[in-house]
Structure 1
C-alpha cells in the first residue's frame, strides 16, 4: 500500500512518460519536421521526463524520510509517557506561546509554561506537537519541566527533532503531572 506522500511522485512519473510518448508520436507524424528534427525533439522530451522523474524520486524519498522521522518521534513520546504510570492529567496546567521560532539549527522552538496548582512541588512531562498552518502534524517532542514550586509556574523550551520550515504552530498534545 502506498502512502499519500508517494502517490504524487508516481503520478508525475507516469505523466512524464505519457508526454514523452505523445511528443515522439506527434513529431514522427509531422510533415514539417525532418527525421533528425523529430529525433531531436523526442530526445529533448525524454530528457525533460528523466529530470521530472528524478525530481519526483527525490521528493518521494524526502517524504518517506520525514514520515519515518515523525513516526519515530511519536513512538518516543509514547515511551516517555509510559514511564509515568501514576501521573495526573495536567494538560490544562500547561501552555505554549503558540507560534514556534527557528533556532540556529533551523529547529522549531517554543516556550512551555507549567503552572502547578497543588500544595507541593511537582514535575511535568509535556508532549508538544508542531503543526503547519493547515493543521498537518510536522513533528512532536516531549519536554520535562522539573520541580515546579507549589502554586507556582516554571518555563521550559520544547525543540523539534528536525528542522522545520514555514509557519509552525506548537500546541500541548498532552501533559502529565507527577
Structure 2
C-alpha cells in the first residue's frame, strides 16, 4: 500500500471510529436519562403511598419475556394477612451485569387473605439483551 492511500485509510478509519464513539456516548447519555427519569417517576409513585408497610417478602418476580416490543414479567403477590390487601410494587429491570435498565410501578389490588394474585410489569421502553426483573420495593396497604 502506498503512503497517501494508507493515510486516507487511517483518516477514514479514525473518523468512523470517532463518529461511532460519539454516537455511542450520545446513546449512553440518552439511555441514562431515560433510566433516571423512569426511576424518579417510580420512586415518586411509591412515595405517594402513605399507609403502606414493607411487603417485599410477599412478592416474587417471574422470568422476563418480550411482548409487544416491551419487556414484561409476571409479578405474583401472596397475601399472608387476615384481610384483603392492595400492593404497590416497584419492579426493576436489570441486565446481566446488574445495571439498572428501567423501573416501573405495578398495582395489584384486592388480594384476598392467604391467596395469590398475579399482575404484569411492563417496561417503559424497549430493552435489549438479557434482562431480569427484580422487586425493588413492595408496599402492602
TM-score (norm 2): 0.94
Partner of 1:87: 52
Query: Could you tell me which of 31, 41, 49 is aligned with 2:14?
Result: 49
Deviation at 1:68, TM superposition (A): 0.4
Deviation at 1:119, TM superposition (A): 1.9
Query: Could you tell me which of 39, 58, 62 is aligned with 2:4?
Result: 39
Tell me if 1:102 matches 2:66. yes
Partner of 2:129: 166
Counterparts of 2:128 and 2:64, CA distance in 1? 10
Tell me if 1:117 matches 2:117. no
Partner of 2:119: 156
Tell me if 1:78 matches 2:6. no
Deviation at 1:108, TM superposition (A): 1.1
RMSD: 1.3
Runs of 4+ in structure 1 off by over 4 angstroms are none
Deviation at 1:75, TM superposition (A): 0.2
Q: What is the DSSP-based 3-state SS (H/G/I as helix, E as strand, rest coil) of the residue aligned with 2:129? A: coil
Counterparts of 2:97 and 2:14, CA distance in 1? 31
Structure number with higher strand proportion: 2
Structure number with higher helix proportion: 1
* Per-residue deviation, residues 103-143 of structure 1 (Å, max 9, x unmatched): 121x2110001111122211100011111122221111111
User: Structure 1: any 5+ residue segments left out of the alignment?
Assistant: 1-32
Q: What is the DSSP-based 3-state SS (H/G/I as helix, E as strand, rest coil) of the residue aligned with 2:114? A: coil
User: Structure 2: any 5+ residue segments left out of the alignment?
Assistant: none
Partner of 1:66: 31
Counterparts of 1:44 and 1:88, CA distance in 2? 63
Counterparts of 2:5 and 2:128, CA distance in 1? 41
Report which stretch shifted further, 58-67 or 128-137: 128-137
